[in-house]
Amino acid sequence: MSRDGISEEEARNRIDAQTSLDWKKTKADIVMDNSGSTQNTRMEFQKVLKQVTGPLGWKEFCFSREGMALVLVSIIIGSLLMQKFI
């Protein structure tokens, strides 16, 4: 309230207007819990870091830029080969 120079009522209205955390969690790919101690948060961060820097599964790869490019090139080559043999 002091940072933004707003009343308590306006602050409560802003908080109430936010989307609930539970709903946001259902839409997130990764949720990091930082409600524990600093050490727990560090361990949680290391777990998330390992997850996001690890190798992609086939589904994640297909939806990446490189995967989409590979799919597109494969479709083009397949179409050209089909035309040649038909």
Q: Could you report the per-residue pLDDT of 29-82, keeping only the tens digit for each? A: 899 989 999 999 999 999 999 988 888 888 888 888 999 999 999 999 999 999
Kindly report the pTM of this predicted structure. 0.48
Burial 62-77 (b: 16+ CB within 10 A, else e): eeeeeeeeeeeeeeee
- CA-closest candidate to residue 67, choices 55, 50, 52, 83: 55
Torsion on CA atoms 13, 14, 20, 21, rounded to nearest 10 = -140
- The answer to whether 48 and 30 are in contact (CB under 8 A) is yes
Q: What are phi and psi of 30, to 5 degrees?
A: -135, 135
